[in-house]
A = this chain, B = another copy of it.
């Protein structure tokens, strides 16, 4: 009944190819019949789509499906390729840079990490170091028969929605920094980043806040564990949150949603760099926590955090008191969040996951006392991804560029326009 817009046949094909890929990504190796049943498409339609995906190399055949693997007679199992396209994830940390390559099956296949003092450093040199690391990981990936299809970068700061511009990254000291020119153009190093691709198009680039990518990693990598609605709170040097609603990240009008680190918890507290007073970050941020525990934060972050962990584990009263106070502050901010959003679960990530056992008692006490709705407050989950969440989220975001739009990938590969 709908009028056919010129592009709609291609759009339907694009969407259906993507649905087939996502079905196989979620279920693992699947027969055509299983895919057809899950998507509500006919077997003929699925076969046509699968043939196209086999030709383009995104799907491969793996021999017969195990008995009982789905309706209909046993067929050949379809799997995502573990060669060909991969997603590159990168993380710009306050004290390190990391890059990894994840194949279409979601496996980390190559990885590199270097120390990098990011605090108050000019963006240019940091991005040059990151580009070198991207190139190194690209070489590793090439050796495994993989070629990057997209690059996603996690940054500890606010990214303007739909752009690659870091508007404000206080812990790096970056303002209005455009990431794309340094990273998205064809490489000029020994191994051109786009060398395995038939065109000179720049590698598709995604730049996103680290807390957003950490939460998406939780959703994408562990879908059976987290519900479709949750608030993810994580700390690296700063504290960030991500609100996931029905499986989608809430980005906000300008892309700045999730700044829970600056929710006021003590309105008359000390002045914060954001201009406010008594922000959550001043009680539960890494520096506040180390300071309250009497640990110097001048040296490497890892050493300081290990010292805090050791002291807490050995029952050091000052360390325990610091963690208890941080948990209380988190509980205050999260009680407000729960009253406002009524999420199914809260997830603690990053450094907060590492110290969860000491944060939880006071955090949960505040939640119980301060949530207005009757019944138990939402479940409090601890991330299993630890500090790797944002990096893995970035790499998976890059992989999903291919899953979401296989036609573009094919067009690039084949050098044809779509």
Interface residue count for A (Cβ, 8 Å)? Answer: 61
11 A-B pairs, CB-CB below 8 angstroms?
A: A3-B41, A168-B374, A256-B342, A261-B339, A262-B339, A264-B332, A266-B267, A274-B371, A276-B372, A277-B369, A333-B336
Within 8 A of B (CB), among A332-362: 332-333, 335-337, 339-344
A257→B41 contact, CB < 8 A: no
A264→B370 contact, CB < 8 A: yes
Query: Which of A134-142, A147-155, A245-253, A403-411 participates in binding chain B?
Result: A245-253
Interface presence of A265 (CB below 8 A): yes
Chain A interface residues toward B at CB < 8 A: 1-3, 5, 12, 16, 40-42, 45, 158, 167-168, 175, 227, 229, 241, 243, 245, 250-267, 274-277, 279, 332-333, 335-337, 339-344, 369-375, 378
Q: For the complex formed, measure the closest distance between the CB of A225 and the CB atoms of chain B, giving whole angstroms.
A: 16
A261→B372 contact, CB < 8 A: yes
Interface of A is mostly: loop
A367 and B257 CA atoms in complex are apart in Å by 15
Q: Smallest CB-CB separation from A271: which chain B residue?
A: B369
A254→B3 contact, CB < 8 A: no
A29 and B168 CA atoms in complex are apart in Å by 48
A32 and B371 CA atoms in complex are apart in Å by 51
B332→A256 contact, CB < 8 A: no
Q: Smallest CB-CB separation from A48: which chain B residue?
A: B1
Q: Known contacts A257-B340, A276-B335; is A40 also within 8 Å of B2 by CB?
A: yes
In the assembled complex, which residues on chain B have CB atoms less than 8 Å from the CB atom of A369?
Answer: 275-277
Q: For the complex formed, measure the closest distance between the CB of A373 and the CB atoms of chain B, giving whole angstroms.
A: 4
In the assembled complex, which residues on chain B have CB atoms less than 8 Å from the CB atom of A274?
Answer: 370-372
